[in-house]
Structure 1
Amino acid sequence: MPEAAHPHATADTPSATGPTGAAPPAKAPLTGAPPASARPGLVLATVSVCQLMVTLDASIVNIALPAMGESLGFADSSLPWVVNAYALAFGGLLLLGGRIADLVGHRRAVLAGLVLFGLASVLGGFAQSPAQLVAARAGQGVAAAVLAPIGLTLIMVTFAEGAARARALGIWSMVTAGGSALGVLLGGVLTDLLDWRWVFFVNAPIVLVGLALALRSVPAVRPPLAGRPDVLGAVLGTVSMTVLVYGLMETDRHPWGSARTLGTLGAAVLLGLLFLVWEARFARTPIVRLGVLRARTAWVSSLLVTLLGAGMLAGFYFCSLFLQNVLHYEPLAAGAAFVPFCAGTAAGSIVAGRLTARFGGRVTLTGALLLTALGMLWFAGLDLDSDFLTGFVGPSIVTSVGVGVCMVANTGMGTSGVDPREAGLVSGLLNAGRQCGGSIGLAVLSTVAVAATRRAATNGDDARAALAAGYDQAFLVTAGVLGVAALLAVLFVPPRRPTAPDH
């Protein structure tokens, strides 16, 4: 099919211009329309399995950490690296992971990601030392950095824009938000009833199902992009993201104003600037073609998903801490308490497409973000006398419905009009925004919570009351962040999906 006739081509895509103004190589075929043999239902099932595993493993180890530490002899200072190794590899490699699918082909990318995730999980289950377990978690993070963007990429190239893509994005978003909550619950069940090693072994059957689905559903077509991979760009992008995520994770031990933190974050900024200069001026096949961000929908959706990522991760994290540290829930009960959140996210994801079609992107996203902010504001009212039914269910449902609508509406806006050859790039940007937003938000809000807890303790509150005050302050700031996101949606989100990119 000639490039000019392709229904997804726009003025912002590489069919019009390359990184230096020249057209991309003519031999790079368009592969946006799925082959006649493609099975959209099985593709969506493959995507859902991959995304479930990625989000599940971001949280499933949390409740099992004490058992892991006791079994393998972790020092208290090194135990958090079971979580951090996954987050660091995942966040640092997302941009590269998103572009891999465009360079090697969708089928190869998803199969390689699944195999690597399965191997790392089995090695983690059999780990006999802290170093082996941390290495296995890093391997899972590398695989997740490939699988998370390829899932969204497959949706973009399999489902046409409109109702079909909105339904697919609804299911993808539901799995994304629900997987984290399910991970908390499943981690408690497996650790309590079996052994901590099963939080790794449980991935083996999931990987086998994913491989079987992928082999049947993901077509083996030529890679969307031709040419040499941008090795230097990949290194700069990966290292800058990794240093940023690492610097943010270490703020719990080194204050924001410390030389260590300022130096690390400054290095991340410098590396990021070098990456942007290289991509804009010198890369022949850039990892991130900056021209894609000239479309208003692309940069607005990336910004909003970053703020939403901060709110989502903060909500899961501080709700879990409040339940266990203030209300003294057992790990299994704390995980079960997130079931209403899963249900609300599912409901929001289901109705998001219809709301966007009826009211437009601006109204839908603004309303959903305000609803999510309202839920966080409600959480900020939790106290020592709160219980599950009267204090936790209500804000959980309000927040989760807003999250479900936001994820579908915002992802639909960000992926509209994207050239299929750059589906992996856009997927990587959106996933990187959510991951970095979560890391930044968690680092900032943890500082806020600790400061508020210390103030409350200084004023004479007992330990539980001081913790509650700290968590409530974090919820309050999270509501403010989501309120800012709603304001940005009012100012910049197009009321209806534009027919051409807005320069």
Structure 2
Amino acid sequence: MIVIDQNIVNVALPAVQKGLGFSSENLVWVVNAYVIPFGGLLLLAGRLGDLVGRRIIFLTGITLFSLASLLCGFATNEAMLIVFRFVQGIGGAIASACVLGMVATMFTEGREQAQAIGAYSFASAGGGAVGPLLGGVLTDSLSWNWIFFINAPIGAVLVLTGLRTVKKDSGKGGLSKGTDFLGAFLVTAGLMLLVYTIVGAEKSGWGSALTLILGAVALALLAGFIYRQATIAQPLLPLRLFRSRSLTAANIVQFMMIAGMFGLLFFGTLYVQRVLNYSALEAGLGFVPIAVVIAAVSLGLSARVIMKFGRRPVLFLGLVLITLAFVMLSFARVDGVYAVDFLPATLVMGLGFGLAAPAMMGLGMAAVEPADAGIASGLFNTTQQIGGAIGLTVLSAFVTSRTNTLTAEGKGAKEAMLGGYHVAFWVAAALVFSALIIAALMLRGANGGAAPEQAQQDSAGGEDLGDKDLAVS
């Protein structure tokens, strides 16, 4: 629900602009007002889950997200929608920060955990692919308001189901057991300001005084947060977590992989709409195959492959396939055909992501103690949000530069746009390939998941089949 919401709005933006009279300058804040609190609050929300219980934090976030969604649907002017989207972003951060930690602690047996993380990966990636389709259907058949209204009944079912099925957990004993309020302020303010700076850099320019000043302040706040975490007895984000090469490598890989993947979701949509002349609904349907492949791989194949070959080889294979998919997209033609120029690459992309994401998350979470699962989950989500924001902004800059150059050379509008998209896909391929190199270098000393014989030994000895962090810091 939360991932779909991040993508469903994009398709409906023209209808929102017409319905509420948004100016072109303010329309971007329908997206940014959600992204900024979402990216900034994930670490704090994850830590709160560890301290007071992940169940209560998760259900609180879902409730706030659902109520804010209703208010968004009833908004009658620009200001109301932007404010309610900000509240929705807070609720989304609170809910999603704990989810991966809940999955990792609820399912501890190796194969079962691999299947559960695969389901989590599918929900994350599948939501991104289904969002444009659902947004097109709701906007065309009903109205833009329903892209928000739809969250309310889903949220109600989630809360009722969560109360019945998710076991109560008391956390570490409450806020008094480790709430670093100053650290929480520093990291939340720093991340919010960093995301704000990134999303605004495309308009004001990376070299503008505003971008440089805000960026410097954001980095200073984050540096202050790191210093405080290194010097206080009960930190919000224990820096000892980064002694684990598995956790560190998994977050770096996710950052670079998501930075590239945003290129597919954003510029791929623009390609089929602006170059192949698909409608919003047709463009959404064009992403259904990748969602189907991710579902098939994440929910079924990935767990079996991981248990047979280990997480590291599966991660490497997935990253190779994602890189290949971006290279394939870089050859898309102006007069292209969906079945030739777009579909094969997205199928390869779905296969690669369906393999890489569960292996990557399993590697990272297996090295984390249950008591720190919430903050580790929040860290993963923060890495994802920052990676997506930075990746999309950087790729957009490359697209704009190349498109302007080709336009100045006299190329047609479609040809110039496609030339820009080609550059974005090549840069995305380079990012994911760099993630592959980093993973290969950093994960050499860590156990990548149990092979068949070792898995049986571990199971017989009562050991968790997840990865043990054997790296020497």
TM above 0.5, one fold?
yes
1:181 corresponding residue in structure 2: 129
**Partner residue of 2:172?**
224
Report the TM-score, using the length of structure 2 for normalisation.
0.93
Equivalent residue number for residue 157 of structure 2: 209
Cα separation, 2, equivalents of 1:193 and 1:291 = 52
Q: CA deviation at 1:228?
A: 4.7
Letter of the structure 1 residue corresponding to residue 408 of structure 2: T
Confirm or deny that 1:340 pairs with 2:289.
Answer: yes
Unaligned segments of structure 2, at least 5 residues: 450-466
3-state SS, counterpart of residue 286 of structure 1: coil
Deviation of the 1:464 alpha carbon = 0.9
Structure 1 position 486 matched with structure 2 position 436: yes
**What's 1:61 paired with?**
9
Give the Cα–Cα distance (whole angstroms) in 2 for the partners of residues 500 and 317 of structure 1.
36
Alpha carbons of 1:228 and 1:484: their partners in 2 closer, same or farther (altered >3 Å)? closer
Matched, 1:269 2:238: no
* CA gap 1:482/1:225 in 2 versus in 1, 3 angstroms: farther
Q: Which amino acid aligns with 1:154?
A: M
* AA in 1 matched with 2:234: T
CA drift of 1:417 comes to 3.5
Q: Distance in 1 between matches of 2:208 and 2:308?
A: 50
Q: Is the 8 A contact 2:366 2:468 kept in 1?
A: no
Alignment of 1:353-502 (within 5 A): 353-493=303-443, 494=446, 496-497=448-449, 499-502=468-471
The Cα offsets for residues 300-326 of structure 1, whole Å up to 9 and x where unpaired, read as: 111111111112212101101111111
> One-letter code of the match for 2:448?
R
Q: Is 1:316 paired with 2:265?
A: yes
RMSD (Å), alpha carbons = 1.3
Give the count of matched residue pairs: 450
Q: Which runs of 5+ in 1 are unaligned?
A: 1-52
User: Does structure 1 conserve the Cα–Cα contact (< 8 Å) formed by 2:59 and 2:95?
Assistant: no
CA distance in 2, matches of 1:92, 1:61: 20
Query: CA separation in 1, counterparts of 2:2 and 2:179?
Result: 25
Paired letter, 2:319: L
- The CA deviation at 1:500 is 4.0
Cα deviation per residue 1:189-248 (whole Å; 9 max; x = unaligned)?
011000110001000110011011111012223123551521111100101111111111
Q: Is the 8 A contact 1:452 1:470 kept in 2?
A: yes
Note the C-alpha offset of 1:266. Answer: 1.6
1:297–1:501 contact (8 Å) kept in structure 2: no
Cα distance in 1, alignment partners of residues 468 and 178 from structure 2: 33
Tell whether the 8 Å contact from 1:156 to 1:423 is kept in structure 2 after alignment: yes
- Tell me: CA distance 1:208–1:231, structure 2 relative to 1, closer, same or farther (3 Å): same
Q: Distance in 2 between matches of 1:107 and 1:416?
A: 20
Match of 1:197 in 2: 145
What is the aligned-residue identity percentage? 38
Q: Determine if the alignment matches structure 1 residue 256 to structure 2 residue 225.
A: no
CA contact (8 A) 1:366 1:487 kept: no
CA contact (8 A) 2:244 2:367 kept: no
**Which digits, 9 at most, give the CA deviation of each residue in 1:394-417, with x for residues without a partner?**
000001111111110000000003
Separation in structure 2 between the aligned mates of residue 487 and residue 316 of structure 1, nearest angstrom: 24
Question: 5 Å matches for 1:301-312?
Answer: 301-312=250-261
The one-letter code of the counterpart of 1:137 is R
State the TM-score, normalized to the length of structure 1. 0.87
| 2-structure distance, mates of 1:160, 1:228 | 26
Structure with greater proportional helix content: 2
* Matches of 2:192 and 2:219, distance apart in 1: 11
1:496 Cα offset (Å): 2.7
Structure-2 separation of matches of 1:136 and 1:180: 22
Q: 1:73 pairs with 7, 12, 21, which one?
A: 21
For 1:477 and 1:422, locate their aligned partners in 2 and report how far apart those are by CA, in whole Å: 35
For 2:169 and 2:251, locate their aligned partners in 1 and report how far apart those are by CA, in whole Å: 28
